[in-house]
A and B are shown apart, each in its own frame.
Chain A
Amino acid sequence: MKRLYVLLAFILLILLVLPMFLEKYTLGIFIMIFYYAYLGQSWNILTGYTGHISLGHALYIGIGAYTSTYLAITFGLTPWVGMIAGGLVAVAVALFKGFLGFRFGLRGVYFVILTIAFAEITRLIVSHIEALGSFSGIFLDFNPSFWNFQFRGNKPYYYISLGMMVASVGVVRVLELSRIGRFMVAIREDEEAAQAVGVNSFKYSMIALSISAFMTALAGTFYANYIFYLHPNSVFGMGLSIELILRPIIGGMGTALGPIVGSFILTPLSEMSRAYFSKGGMEGLHLVLYGVLAIIVVLFMRKGILTYLAAGLNKIIRFKS
């Protein structure tokens, strides 16, 4: 275990000094790696650890992005505070959704449908609200300053997203060892058996959903101030909901490092193949690559790449004594 921490600290150190040697485009790829790793981790808390499958997590990204942006434009509120507000709105929506889902025993595919429905309904509602830019979306003005969460160049975004990713691993690690985390895993393994040993599955499912929603919403604020453009279809869309779950699935669900490993594999693949296949009638071919990779992992590496990676590394540097 100790050696694993040393290895991770070493990798982190490299990531900290890396921006000195990279140009803007490559930095951008790393930012997307961290961003999707963070999103995957947030989703992982609900689905990987607690076993409730969400296919509508874009809902919380959208809520985070729109809330902080709206507050910034209308009241001049700094997105640093706005992102917390967005997180709280996301928690409120999550609690309502969770109440409907968990109290009335929606499980499996029925819960999945509920998550999709919430994301889609919210997308349509936002598309019709004038104050939120309706169908044309919102363009953010570029006023770079720390206060405005807007920066010239990619380096600040790099460090913020790296910080978010590292913090998300920390949150999951703390959860894993805590009472809450152990109850979440028990619910994932067998909800009735968990209740039989005194676990209030409703309460702990709600807690897991709230943590997950809050964290996901923070990423929404980051996205808004990195891309400077919000459109209901892109931040609430089904495509994003699916995109963000692929990394933890391929990396390893229910593990603290799975979403990170998954993102380091999938995000560069996605970004580079998207650029490579962007002309000559091959647009969209990168999605085929995704599909093939997902099928390979599901067929041959059920527990995610991380498990095999760890076993392989273990032979070289021995994490476990």
Chain B
Amino acid sequence: MTLLKATNIRKQFGGLTAVNDLSFQLAKNEILGLIGPNGAGKTTVFNCLTGLLPMDAGQVHLENNTITGLRPHQICRLGMARTFQIVRPFLNISVLDNAIVGALMWEKKPAIARQLAQEIIDFVGLGPYSNELAESLPLPLRKRLELAKAMATKPKALLLDEVMAGLTPTEVDELIRLIDEVRHQGVGVLLIEHVMRGVMALSDRVIVINNGTEIAQGNPEDIVNEVCVIEAYLGKEYAGAVC
């Protein structure tokens, strides 16, 4: 069953086309990897999907709702949450309070929202830090807090923007396990990631974009061997060398 469907989305910044007629579908329980070299337009895709940036063309559907042109909080309410690549925790409140904000979106009673937030904080492994200020967390833990904040809104579709960047291999493994568990809870995950270990381990399918345009799509094993993908990442000479 299709959860999230983007049709021909396009975003221009002046003369630069950051996203060019991109279309894809995401199903329940599916993890779709979105990869591409730096500046390919991956984060811009997220910003368009979540309503942070207005799109110039295209349609986005979440389940039976058209979410094109809706404002970010409305899109979140309909069931799509995201993390930010450059983490944006609410710095001056506690880790638990960060998650409570998300939980309060659908649970109006603060006491119950607090319980649910605590469960999610424990789930992402931040339990021992519940009462610390978010400000005191180092980057790897802030990345988890981003995940917790998004999860607290109980999303159907979860957009993860480089949650593994800058983590040690052990921490990456930990996150892979977490994200896989999220998927098994029935969430569809759209994953922007440069850490290939994460992409390979998690993705059911991968879309590669370069200069805002889709250049390849398929299962992860095939994708990494595609000539055009290697070309986009490493340049023409390397594409020849590999094949």
Contact = CB atoms under 8 A, between A and B. Distances in A.
B90 A198 contact: no
A179 B110 contact: yes
A140 interface: no
Contacts of A185: 90, 93, 97, 101
B72 A195 contact: yes
Contact of B72 (A178, A196, A254): A196
A182 B117 CA distance: 13
Nearest to B105: A198
Contact of A198 (B77, B89, B92, B108): B77
Candidate in B50, B76, B153 with the most chain A CB atoms within 10 angstroms: B76
Contacts, number: 75
Nearest to B88: A193
A194 B153 CA distance: 11
Contacts of B77: 198
B81 interface: yes
A192 B150 contact: no
B76 A196 contact: yes
B31 interface: no
A195 B90 contact: no
A196 B50 contact: yes
A201 B73 contact: yes
A60 B82 CA distance: 39
Contacts of A186: 90, 101
B84 A196 contact: yes
Given A197-B152, A197-B153, A182 B104 contact: yes
Interface of B: 50, 52, 71-73, 76-77, 81-82, 84, 88-93, 97, 100-102, 104-106, 108, 110, 113, 149-150, 152-153
Q: When A and B form their complex, which 5 residue pairs have the shortest distance between CB atoms, in order from nearest?
A: A198-B105, A189-B90, A198-B76, A193-B88, A195-B72
Interface of A: 177-179, 182-183, 185-186, 189-190, 192-201, 254
